Structure 1
């Protein structure tokens, strides 16, 4: 099992719908029979190379991506590891100047909220490089700042909700989260620098930034507050996880664990069913925040609707600093991980999304109007209107295929749910339905998944891939009760894991390769694991593309480059012991999921420092530079090597000093670990990864 827990490990879904892992067990059993004629063998499936299997039907083999770099070894050190022939630079760390008048980072966390408003935010996550005038050496780096680590962002003596806690520390926390826009430039072809006097630089944070609510839920009663009786204006974005972008040069930031920030100072409050379904506390908020003590917006008694106004995808125009970001209610209200863009065969915009909590769902949005490549200004409101769908995965046994089948179910008032009633009998308006997206998805029989993370679309085949990061427990009587009755399989021949500590990557092909199709076929691209060590059996033996050279767990970030290489980032257990032996720190890997010269091989491209997550990925247009984020280096509580007797506020560098000392970074002032962006390039000037 994982050696740590987070709130996403606890489900809030009472659905009785068949869970994905049951379908997976059925699929694995059928594949075993079809491929070997032997019932009960796990070896046959795990030995199959999915890249040589289903993808071959759709891949254009005329131009196959390649990988020439030598994979790096696992590492438990406190610095970045990249392949031979590659170099990197650490840029734009938490606390670095955002503007020409920004104060220099002190290193002891004594900066107040006013200083943080002028500095780069914390815990970098999703990210996009927007080139200026098509340049590969100058652009806007737009980046999420997901959350804060209280032990590092507050100085010694300040305890959340305790000694020294005040309104300004709350405000500092709020200003360290959200989105930053940073103008960067490659100087003399050697070093990336922030252009601090640029008009584009901007902090879009949880405290200061006014946003507009658009789409069907705008103006709904559930969106109205004392401060905003119209239900159309909201301040702030936070819990920003993955991201997306559009061809009309806007950035999509995804609000994920927003429920952690809400609570109340009142006693005896009972959460209603809507709050329970989303996991909103009727007591104090998460111990890392406690914003409700000094900001009544976050008290669910003072402002019972404020939390409904967060948990959306937000569209930002990085090239217009005066523009107001838009909360896109047509794309649903849940714990958004990222947003993957596609265009249907007839020109409608499609956005794929995952709800990152155990036993939640996968969604897609299809725009009402069509994309116009010749008039980008006309596309600015495309994400305001459309239809939201939720995925139902089926096993496809009727056709005897190796692939499963699936369908997309529209979340509209006219849709008939599994109870035989139209959703209009449960929701008064489409706006209310979208505020309660999870409940609507429950009613139509969506398939519970193992924590859907990032979604990515293959640029040539149009296959869609999703990381399902892990599932801490399934199959036990206690688990079934805790899930509110959701069915989970126990141990069986094809799925002999009660716990899924490793995760998997699933993919699907839309019917007729049309992103707006209502049906699809699916299979498992990769069931992640360790071929030599497992607490409940040697699951992965015989697997061609999982070896001791590329072990990893908990796939999270996911992206394709233009050539079709898939980049896999991890956010998992980095203990390097037991079931995780040989995996080392979190990492980034590269694969080519198609037939050809690489035959589905997976290579480790990068390893991060102690305690970090590798996340966020974006490329320059010529693919000669890749930007990656290092989130929460040195994070306590998630690693057995962290010294338990140490209070991180007293000794913040006891577990990690990164980025100080890594690649000549000497500006950490001896203070504390810092989230940062790393830019990587080939020494010979070639395409990264190729």
Structure 2
């Protein structure tokens, strides 16, 4: 198969495509607010670096956003060779596409459809409002009720996990997060200043997670939902058990729960992971936006803690505080401290109480994903999705117990409650060569070393030991960002999904973007975050001593228009890759290739899903497998041998649109309202994906 230039470049002005209405309801308009991290940690206020960066920007002018035609000469790849994973020269192009990536790349577009490669088919698996539990009524957009939504598939699906059902060939449990609600697109005539009680209750029920059994069919990748014994809806009213060093802490005590051990609900569940013992981890991310009246908190310590977590202002966007006092900080100042954790759900027991693991720390968890070492030590990786926040890992002191019996499940459900929580610091090999323009250092790659700094040790009895001067164990568990500040953790460009490669053990991090990098009063560029005004993001590759404290790192991708001088694709010929912007969720196919879904594409085309080759002469080859409809985000990719699945989140969320004036009619067409949904894609006539 001859490798041809993709010629997929698009014109862009470098701004994110995410609509402002999405920003308001998804993350509380985080990117338009002041940066919460104003600590003097590593790289902050580096006068020499900042001065050098400003000189570099002035000197290079528009080099960082240089665009050329698809056939034009590219400064970093003027011939058919590039820099390999170890900095050596490798030949790019020619030969057979690596297994898993042999498909025709989809071109950038703005269609109101899921666009897939030639010779592939697709179908919706489940959409917002479809039945999950027996007795659920058929979805009626104009007659929604809280009771119906509690039995139906929730809104704005993000993470998706697929777990095979033992003894049922081609049958799985599909577990999906419902990150947030966008009320103007859920209800006709929605009045943001005066939501109704029923709208509030329906939105509460549309958050959380869905567990639904799905059945396949021979010779196809299609999946059909069915009422299985494990089907379940978890909502923002479901009871959760608190474990770890913050359980029982006065910092978590409320009027409704003076024991500080039980929490109602989970909020803003973004990505997640499947554990080797068969449970699902879910990250509570932008929880801060749900809580009102932070401006009425007068205690200076409490106010500073709220500010560090982005909890500010008076009324919330959704006005939930009008209906439930737990969302009013003036009445329940500790309720917000009960969100921002990694949640664990046992999908095989619909009567089980899900858990919030405080030993893993509290921040805006994009996800938590697991690597198990040869001796059974469990390592959980997690990123804090905020500009200039940190990367973390938790190393369990307990070993995973193999087997599928009840005894092993009971034991493994405690693995994330005892161990050590760390935060990362990174240093570059050539720090003096970084000027904020994205220019590669002389070695031909961005690379360096890192350290994991211990913050908190939790014993088998659940009691914590602080490893940070001036903070108690409970404070480290609840105000983990402040602990990271104190030890000088490295400020990253929105660390989102954090995924270990099951084939190699290398760990990958999606750093989505950071348009404030290098702005006045903020950290300048450094080697792992090499561009000021970073609107396209990058992907970090880590070789970690998983249970230890040292690692090495390099940047696999510096994303954007391949024709721009400030992009890098692992040394691969940039004229032969798809443009990619704002990496968000990561996954691996059975062959060990990395797959990336995007959120907020700054190249003015729809978000998509991409394969990336990780090894050999074609390391860095990036190809777009699909795009999602206009206004949508690509989430929760599952890359199997026979099918690819993605969650299509917030389709049609464009400024000026609403339920009264829909901008999309996906997935049902006609004049229907847009509905978030899970989609399966598979090779026509069967076969293997990308082979």
**TM over 0.5, yes or no?**
yes
User: How far apart in 2 are the matches of 1:211 and 1:277?
Assistant: 25
Q: Give 1:266 shift.
A: 8.2
SS in structure 2 at match of 1:92: strand
Q: Give 1:441 shift.
A: 0.7
Equivalent position of 1:605 in the other structure: 625
2:147 paired with 1:129: no
Question: Aligned pair in 2 of structure 1 residues 520, 496: CA closer, same or farther (>3 Å)?
Answer: closer
Question: Aligned pair in 2 of structure 1 residues 413, 373: CA closer, same or farther (>3 Å)?
Answer: closer
The answer (yes or no) to whether the contact 1:269–1:283 under 8 Å persists in 2 is no
Structure 1 counterpart of 2:500, from 457, 464, 478: 457
Normalising by structure 2, what TM-score?
A: 0.82
Structure 1 counterpart of 2:293, from 260, 264, 277: 264
Equivalent position of 1:329 in the other structure: 358
Gaps of 5+ in 1: 30-39, 58-62, 415-421, 481-485, 575-579, 638-643
Q: Give 1:49 shift.
A: 4.8
SS in structure 2 at match of 1:411: strand
User: How far apart in 1 are the matches of 2:525 and 2:639?
Assistant: 41
Normalising by structure 1, what TM-score?
A: 0.82
Q: Give 1:341 shift.
A: 0.9
2:412 paired with 1:394: no
Q: In the TM superposition, what are the counterparts of 1:112-511 in structure 2 within 5 Å?
A: 112-133=145-166, 137-156=170-189, 158-162=190-194, 165-187=195-217, 189-190=219-220, 191-196=222-227, 198-207=228-237, 209-264=238-293, 272-285=303-316, 287=317, 289-374=318-403, 376-377=408-409, 378-396=411-429, 403-412=447-456, 423=467, 425-428=469-472, 430-477=473-520, 480=521, 486-489=522-525, 498-510=532-544
User: How far apart in 2 are the matches of 1:475 and 1:145?
Assistant: 34
User: How far apart in 1 are the matches of 2:590 and 2:562?
Assistant: 31
Q: Give 1:600 shift.
A: 3.1
Which string of whole-angstrom CA distances, capped at 9 and with x for unpartnered residues, describes residues 485-542 of structure 1?
A: x43249x9x99954111111111111xxx31121011111000121336xxx665699
User: How far apart in 1 are the matches of 2:297 and 2:171?
Assistant: 55
Structure 1 counterpart of 2:123, from 89, 110, 119: 89
Which string of whole-angstrom CA distances, capped at 9 and with x for unpartnered residues, describes residues 269-310 of structure 1?
A: 67611101101124112x2x2211111111011111111111
Q: Give 1:252 shift.
A: 0.5
SS in structure 2 at match of 1:152: helix
The answer (yes or no) to whether the contact 1:46–1:543 under 8 Å persists in 2 is no
Equivalent position of 1:682 in the other structure: 683
Question: Aligned pair in 2 of structure 1 residues 345, 214: CA closer, same or farther (>3 Å)?
Answer: same
Equivalent position of 2:646 in the other structure: 628
Equivalent position of 1:417 in the other structure: none
User: How far apart in 2 are the matches of 1:541 and 1:566?
Assistant: 13
The answer (yes or no) to whether the contact 2:515–2:534 under 8 Å persists in 1 is yes
Which moves more between the two structures, 97-106 or 214-223?
Answer: 97-106
User: How far apart in 1 are the matches of 2:274 and 2:225?
Assistant: 22
Q: Give 1:192 shift.
A: 2.1
User: How far apart in 1 are the matches of 2:548 and 2:78?
Assistant: 30
Q: Give 1:543 shift.
A: 6.5
Q: Give 1:46 shift.
A: 11
Which string of whole-angstrom CA distances, capped at 9 and with x for unpartnered residues, describes residues 442-462 of structure 1?
A: 111100000001111122221
Which string of whole-angstrom CA distances, capped at 9 and with x for unpartnered residues, describes residues 323-373 of structure 1?
A: 000001111100000112101243210011000000000000100111122
SS in structure 2 at match of 1:315: strand
What is the alpha-carbon root mean square deviation over aligned residues? Answer: 3.3
Equivalent position of 1:53 in the other structure: 86
Number of residue pairs matched by the alignment: 615
The answer (yes or no) to whether the contact 1:568–1:588 under 8 Å persists in 2 is yes
The answer (yes or no) to whether the contact 2:154–2:210 under 8 Å persists in 1 is yes
User: How far apart in 1 are the matches of 2:403 and 2:151?
Assistant: 38
The answer (yes or no) to whether the contact 1:55–1:595 under 8 Å persists in 2 is no
Question: Aligned pair in 2 of structure 1 residues 179, 538: CA closer, same or farther (>3 Å)?
Answer: closer
Equivalent position of 1:516 in the other structure: 547
User: How far apart in 1 are the matches of 2:530 and 2:619?
Assistant: 27
2:50 paired with 1:17: no
2:579 paired with 1:551: yes
The answer (yes or no) to whether the contact 1:51–1:593 under 8 Å persists in 2 is no
Gaps of 5+ in 2: 1-13, 24-28, 54-63, 67-73, 91-96, 433-441, 459-465
The answer (yes or no) to whether the contact 1:459–1:564 under 8 Å persists in 2 is yes
User: How far apart in 1 are the matches of 2:514 and 2:78?
Assistant: 19
Question: Aligned pair in 2 of structure 1 residues 293, 55: CA closer, same or farther (>3 Å)?
Answer: farther
SS in structure 1 at match of 2:127: coil
User: How far apart in 1 are the matches of 2:387 and 2:297?
Assistant: 28
Question: Aligned pair in 2 of structure 1 residues 545, 45: CA closer, same or farther (>3 Å)?
Answer: closer
User: How far apart in 2 are the matches of 1:618 and 1:470?
Assistant: 23
Which moves more between the two structures, 300-309 or 131-140?
Answer: 131-140
Question: Aligned pair in 2 of structure 1 residues 20, 555: CA closer, same or farther (>3 Å)?
Answer: farther
The answer (yes or no) to whether the contact 1:571–1:586 under 8 Å persists in 2 is yes
Q: In the TM superposition, what are the counterparts of 1:104-119 in structure 2 within 5 Å?
A: 104-108=138-142, 110-119=143-152
Equivalent position of 1:656 in the other structure: 664
User: How far apart in 2 are the matches of 1:184 and 1:223?
Assistant: 38
User: How far apart in 2 are the matches of 1:56 and 1:324?
Assistant: 54
Question: Aligned pair in 2 of structure 1 residues 546, 532: CA closer, same or farther (>3 Å)?
Answer: closer
Question: Aligned pair in 2 of structure 1 residues 409, 112: CA closer, same or farther (>3 Å)?
Answer: same
User: How far apart in 1 are the matches of 2:385 and 2:546?
Assistant: 22
The answer (yes or no) to whether the contact 2:82–2:89 under 8 Å persists in 1 is no
User: How far apart in 2 are the matches of 1:571 and 1:605?
Assistant: 15
SS in structure 1 at match of 2:456: coil
Q: Give 1:387 shift.
A: 0.7
The answer (yes or no) to whether the contact 1:472–1:500 under 8 Å persists in 2 is yes
User: How far apart in 1 are the matches of 2:243 and 2:566?
Assistant: 51
